Structure 1
Amino acid sequence: MMGRGVNCAVAFAALMLMALPMMLIGLAVLAFLGRPILFRQRRIGLGGRAFELVKFRSMRDTRDAAGQPLPDEARTPAMGRLLRQSRLDELPELWNILRGDMALVGPRPLLPPTIAALGRAGATRSSVRPGITGLAQVSGNTLLSMEEKLALDLLYVQQRGMGLDLWIMVHTPLMMIRGEKIDSVLLEKAHAGGHNR
């Protein structure tokens, strides 16, 4: 897998290149969703340590008469859906890479209760830094079940290396252009190896 030096160099270069687009996205979020511009949430990283994930906000804080948040679909306007589908909402996570919380490639960071519920699989999954993109993201992402995503994440942990990281990084923009599609070959490989628990 790519070392910290490579991750930081790529993240820094990307932040420099994307500074203007990120400023424009921030202004759009402010105009359509209001403050705060950034969404912050506690997630689990390497070794089970918690960190604060930073993303562009994509949902409104709309609540019902009882004060409970409405379903995600009702709180996500068209601009928020566009940010999520294009994955532009994740650009601030480049800062998480520079801080050492994340890597370019790895399993997506999950909430503490989710990791705890996974037991041994959660600990195995947390043996690598979480990533902005990962094997599950280029193999079906939202089309996959939680069990399928976990199987692919565990397969990545077992087979991680520079070659696999580069393959995922090449396929990430291709997925964004062509749309999500389940990679049945990789999924079968993950399940055949018992990477689902």
Structure 2
Amino acid sequence: MIKRLFDCTIAVSVLLLLSPLIILVAILVRINLGSPILFKQPRPGLHGKTFHMAKFRSMTSETDAEGVLLPDAERLTRFGKFLRASSMDELPGLWNVLIGNMSLVGPRPLLVEYLPLYSQEQARRHDVKPGITGWAQVNGRNTLSWQEKFALDVWYVNNQSFGLDIKILLLTVYKVVKRSDISAQGQATMTKFTGNS
């Protein structure tokens, strides 16, 4: 209950405080990337139940001749890179926090297609609500291997506390200001998880 109250208080406060910035970013996304302004995608939440996570778009919708989306590196614009580096693309996620799909802190919600690929231990990352930021995000983010990332997620599940959440939030602010660990080496974003074999 304390975590939920804290999540809602911070989410409402940040949304109100940053509302002019959020409106400005929405306008810039519309100008630079067109419609839709928001990127919405089903993601697994608590106990693997899917919800629609919202972010500001940071990529174009360009496809090849067969209608398949081009690789991330080709669709990620300079403006999109700025949004990701500043983490401003994550601001709409505060709405997910308010309606209860996400928490401020928890394992990042990944793709639904990954669900059958997790080991039993890795799947424990879904024993808590996913977060806008998490233990893995402040300990390497996209520079980590998938195994390292999942191990940190499960460590958080085993050790979660209000004090740890505060520590993660403070470290997140530091990481955002520093703009570190944004992409995997040689990748525009993060390579896909294909299983543990």
Normalised by the length of structure 1, the TM-score is 0.88
Q: Tell me if 1:89 matches 2:89.
A: yes
**1:133-152 counterparts in 2 under 5 A?**
133-152=133-152
Tell me which residue corresponds to 1:105: 105
Runs of at least 4 residues off by over 6 Å: none
Paired residue for 1:69?
A: 69
Deviations 1:59-91 (A, max 9, x none): 101111222111101001000011011110000
C-alpha separation in 2, matches of 1:144 and 1:46: 23
Which segments of 5 or more consecutive residues in structure 1 lack a partner in the other structure? Answer: 182-195
CA distance in 2, matches of 1:86, 1:77: 14
**1:1-197 equivalent positions in 2, closer than 5 A:** 3-180=3-180
- Work out the CA distance in 2 between the residues paired with 1:131 and 1:139: 15
Could you tell me which residue of structure 2 aligns to residue 188 of structure 1? none
Structure 2: 5+ residue runs without aligned partners? Answer: 182-195
State the 1:180 CA deviation.
2.5
Tell me if the contact between 1:48 and 1:126 (Cα under 8 Å) persists in the aligned partners: yes
Q: Secondary structure at the match of 1:104?
A: strand
Partner of 2:191: none
Rounded to whole Å, the distance in 1 between the matches of 2:147 and 2:105 is 20
How many equivalent residue pairs? 182
SS at match of 2:42: strand
TM-score of the two chains, using structure 2 as the length reference: 0.88
Q: CA deviation at 1:122?
A: 4.4
Contact 1:143 1:180 in 2 (8 A): no
Which residue type is aligned with residue 35 of structure 1?
S
Looking at structure 1, the residues matched to 115 and 84 of structure 2 have their Cα atoms a distance apart, in angstroms, of 23
- My pick for the range that moved more, 1-10 or 52-61, is 1-10
Give per-residue Cα distances to partners, 1:150-182, cap 9 Å, x unaligned: 01101111111011111101100111122436x
Q: Once the two structures are aligned, what percentage of the paired residues are identical? A: 45
Q: Distance in 1 between matches of 2:112 and 2:121?
A: 13
CA distance in 2 between counterparts of 1:164 and 1:68 reads 42
Alignment partner, residue 193 of structure 1: none
Match of 2:188 in 1: none
Per-residue Cα deviation, 1:35-81 (whole angstroms, up to 9, x for no partner): 00000000011121110000000110111122211110100100001
SS at match of 2:127: coil
1:144–1:2 Cα change, 3 Å: farther
Which one-letter code corresponds to 2:60 in the other structure? R
Could you say which residue in structure 2 is the equivalent of 1:184? none
The 8 Å contact of residues 2 and 165 in structure 1, kept in 2 or not, is answered as no
Q: Within 1, Cα distance between the matches of 2:133 and 2:108?
A: 7
Equivalent position of 2:190 in the other structure: none
Alpha-carbon RMSD:
1.5
The residue identity in structure 1 corresponding to 2:94 is: L
